[in-house]
A = this chain, B = another copy of it.
Amino acid sequence: MTDMRIGVLGAGGKVGSSVCRAILEEPGYELVAAVDPKLAGIDLGQMLGRNAAGLIARRDVEALISEAPEVVIDFTEARASFHNLLKLAQAQIPAVVGTTGFTDDEMRRLGEAFEGVGCVIASNFSIGAILMMRCAAMCAPFFESVEIVEAHHDQKVDAPSGTSLETAMRITDARRVANQPGFLQDRTSNLKVEGARGGVVDGDVRIHSLRLRGAVAHHEVIFGTASQTLTIRHDSHDRSSFVPGVLLAVDRVTGLDRLVVGIDGFLGQD
């Protein structure tokens, strides 16, 4: 079996360069074209610590298309991305897109453009985080209590994390679908320190946000019922944890014939 020919848009960016590195390292893939207008003509090899034919940064998507990639990965920004994706669709090249911020109208037009061609647009490529949410949703109807704890590095300025908020939402949705009542109400009548019981979202799920130097990104959902607890925990040990999800999408996108939003569908039945 020959390696799958991959092109990368936004190859010089923070995420794009991680993607390039992963493509170069993983067996089964070949990096045939890397696009970054600002770095056009420059060898990206030094930045990535690698040598590879595809590492001379190309100016635009046309240069990339001329290399006939089987799949193109795009982590850029919505304005540039939208036009590039239309050109890929026209050239019948499947795309995996981590760019966010498309308008509803752009999404509709991308949907039309990719009729007959695979395309995956997702805001979250962390396989582990998605599976954590899915497990949490599956378990939610069978417990009386739940608490979410998330820990991130001390530079994070928002709390709770987006993933913890989405997890809370999925948990309450799952209970509603299963016709289960809300979780046990908090019985704290003597709150000695304001905030100790965490932040309440979606009615009755509490989130506790820890900020610690040395932490990276960690999420924990703890369910409780009589005499037992069930804990689902995701630990990201560095910021390239989106890579396995991108590669999963690359593997699946060639079998699609339309635009799909999110990679959840590749992680088992929804």
Contacts and interface: CB of A to CB of B under 8 A. Distances in A.
A195 interface: yes
Contacts of A165: 192-193
B132 A230 contact: yes
A25 to B, nearest CB: 9
A226 interface: yes
A236 B241 contact: no
Interface string A221-243: 01111111111111111111101
Nearest to A227: B241
Interface residues of A, number: 82
A207 B196 contact: yes
A40 interface: no
B127 A192 contact: no
A159 interface: yes
Contacts of A158: 188-192
Interface in A172-195: 184, 186-195
Given A197-B211, A212-B222, A241 B228 contact: yes
A145 B196 contact: no
B188 A126 contact: no
Contacts of A194: 195, 199
Interface stretch (A74-82, A95-103, A110-118, A148-156): A148-156
Contacts of A63: none
Contacts of A159: 188, 190-193, 196-197
A225 B134 CA distance: 17
A160 B192 contact: yes
Interface stretch (A4-12, A50-58, A135-143, A254-262): A135-143
Nearest to A158: B190
Nearest to A209: B196
A127 B191 CA distance: 26
Interface of A: 22, 46, 126-128, 131-132, 134-135, 138-139, 141-147, 149, 151, 154-160, 165, 184, 186-201, 206-216, 222-241, 243-244, 248, 267-269
